[in-house]
Structure 1
Amino acid sequence: MHRTIAAYGGEASVYLLRQKGQLRGFVKAYLEDGSTREGEITIRFLHRLEKQDELRQIELRFPNAPTLTITYDGERVWGTENGAPIVLRLRTEAAFRAELKHNYETLLRYREYKAEVKYVGREKRSGIDVDVLDLTLPDGATTRYFISARTFRILHIEYDVSVPLVGKPIRFRDSFYDFRVVQTTLVPYRIERYEDGRLVQEIRFTEVAYGVQIEEAQFRLSGSGEEKRL
């Protein structure tokens, strides 16, 4: 685990450099009917050490569709379409909330989050030897990490997402590729997401910047309007 933190630039990069940032790129959604949608994605975040949380905002732009923005402002998750408030679908909100806890950076910040980390063992994934760790947060949320035994990079994470009114949790898997060094820290530029074994999303980042000017006000809902469900 400590070698993994070192592989991502060490604790200084995690706690100082990764306090705030913006990532831009392209997103491809794989729909259940076999079709795909391609668009642009922007992710903004502001990590608050004193509150041990992270404000997060995702902006999605698809052709011939309104711009969708999903935000966690420190208290709640909300969404807008072209700036007008909407009510997010239960599945969309559940997946977004899960990202706040289940991500590769949570392992890098395990001390801060007072998480318990347990070594499960070693196995092969796609012919690669990986060490398997389970990280459990104080609220019981658990993420399984698959870490390359050779490079110490986090290659995959798995976690369960419970959606209201859905019978059983959905098994999510995020897989990380195309690692690059950005401002002394290691960043995966391609991320694939699977739900119950089916590929549902691929993100390819083109721009990653840490330490950019981001304020808490950017994560607050401004204006008003009639909410609709997306």
Structure 2
Amino acid sequence: MDKIDAQRRRILLQSAEARSVRGHLTAPKCASIKWFAKVFESRACVTIRALGWLVSPFHLFSERNYFNRRTNFLLRSFLASTVFFALLLGCTLTNSAAFAQRPAKPATTDKTAPKNEKVEKVDKNQKNYTAQQIAESAIFIYGSRPLLTQIRRNGVERGRICKPTCDVPGKTEEASYERKFVRGDSVDQDKIRLDQKMPTLEYSLVYGGGQLWGIINGAAFIPRQDAVNTFLAQHRHSIDTLLRYKENGSTLSLVGRDKQKGLDLYVLDVVDKDKQSTRFYISAKSLHVLWLEYEEATDTGAPGKYTRRFFDYRLAQGTLVPYKTVLMEEGKQTQEIRILNVTFGIKLDDSLFKSPEA
């Protein structure tokens, strides 16, 4: 009987403790850490009164389980990526090694070309220009054919003539000049009047209708042959010989390219209807005529070589004009012409180009 009573008391005591535990679980703010430590021996739920939140063993277990699952997932993802990258790298190295061991294919060659012939390098920018292309390009640089025809139809040029040079004053023969001109359809139809004034003499040379005569003190005279040759040579062998090659019916021929004193040049021959030949040296860079060469009979009758060089290019009413010209005979300077001013488009009286005896 005493044993039965003792068992009942233990059962009742356990039931009371269970109800007490449920009460503390339903009202966690009333529980204390000491009481739960005594009942569950430090393994029961813990309630912190000050913070007002509950940490249960079931909650701790679920959090730990979630953390383990997430860690395992990240680990598996990292391992899978590593394995995939290793496989990809292995395949790449294998293909590279196989390609390196593959024998190289021989270079394809042109069957029509000889085996021992060396192939020359061709510069795509290099072009072979014709004589007409060079001449037309130079005409465009000087102002274009329509502008030259319109602007330089007539005009007046003033300057000075020095023999042999204008750089040594007092030791040269110097004259001032005024050149009036009216252009015809060709060089043979041009009208030119050259008035020269020296300290002791004034005279004029007039060219028209293919003839040349002189005027001094209002009377006509026949000029000396050397003066005639100089005048006609200056008219036939000038820059206009190139600029008006079509109007004059001249023929062009390209001699080739040359390089002198570091200058790249086009060498061009212009031959007129009278078989008078003029060789032009044209800058390949600027397309300016740097100098020209021709041959004329000297006083002794033997042909002499003349060179006319052009300097100090300037624009005059939209056209290019060299303001300094040097004449050389057999390599020696004999004359220098310097333009002071030039005006195109001036109307000139036709009487200026008629002989006083007409």
Q: What TM-score results when the alignment is normalised by the length of structure 2?
A: 0.58
Shift, 1:99, TM fit: 2.3
Secondary structure of 1:85's counterpart equals strand
Q: Which runs of 5+ in 1 are unaligned?
A: 225-230
Aligned partner of 1:38 in structure 2 is 174
8 Å contact kept, 1:30–1:36: yes
Partner AA of 2:281 in structure 1? F
Any stretches of 5+ residues in structure 2 without a counterpart?
1-134
Highest CA radius of gyration, 1 or 2? 2
Which whole-Å deviations, capped at 9, do the CAs of 1:26-46 have from their partners, x for residues lacking one? 221129xx9511221111111
For 1:215, the equivalent position in structure 2 comes to 349
Distance in 2, matches of 1:167 and 1:203, equals: 26
Match of 2:306 in 1: 172
Aligned-pair CA distance for 1:70: 1.1
Cα deviation, residue 103, structure 1: 0.9
Three-state SS of the structure 2 residue aligned to 1:94 is helix
Residue 6 of structure 1: aligned partner? 140
Q: 1:58 aligns with which of 186, 194, 215?
A: 194
Distance 1:198 1:81, change over 3 A: farther
The structure showing larger relative contact order (alpha-carbon pairs under 8 Å, at least 6 residues apart) is 1
Match in the other structure for 2:267: 132
2:203 matches 1:68: yes
Shift of residue 211 of structure 1? Answer: 0.6
2:154 is matched with which residue: 7, 15, 20? 20
Please give the alpha-carbon distance, in whole angstroms, between the structure 1 residues aligned to 2:234 and 2:160.
Answer: 18
Deviation of 1:125 (Å): 3.4
Give the AA of the match of 1:195.
E
| Equivalent residues of 1:52, 1:112 under 8 A apart | no
Deviation at 1:84, TM superposition (A): 3.0
- Equivalent in 94, 98, 110 of residue 229 of structure 2: 94
User: Once the two structures are superposed, what CA deviation does each residue of 1:176-217 show, in whole Å capped at 9, x if it has no partner?
Assistant: 111111111100011111122221111111111111111332
Residue of structure 1 equivalent to 2:249: 114
Residue 50 of structure 1: how far off its partner (Å): 7.1
The AA in structure 2 aligned to 1:131 is Y
1:153, CA displacement in angstroms? Answer: 0.5
State the Cα deviation string for residues 54-78 of structure 1 (Å, max 9, x = none): 1112121112x11121111223111
Residue in 2 that maps onto 1:182: 316
Alpha-carbon shift at residue 52 of structure 1 (Å): 5.3
Normalising by structure 1, what TM-score? 0.88
Runs of 4+ in 1 over 2 A off after TM superposition: 50-53, 80-87, 124-127
Q: Percent identity at matched positions? A: 30
3-state SS of paired residue (1:202): strand
Q: More helix by proportion, 1 or 2?
A: 2
Partner Cα distance (2:218, 2:291) in 1: 34
The code of the aligned residue for 1:47 comes to R
Q: CA RMSD in A?
A: 2.0
* Number of residues of Structure 1 aligned to a counterpart in Structure 2: 220
Cα deviations across residues 3-32 of structure 1 (Å, max 9, x unaligned)?
Answer: 10111010112211111111101221129x
Residue identity matched to 1:221: S
Structure with more strand by fraction: 1
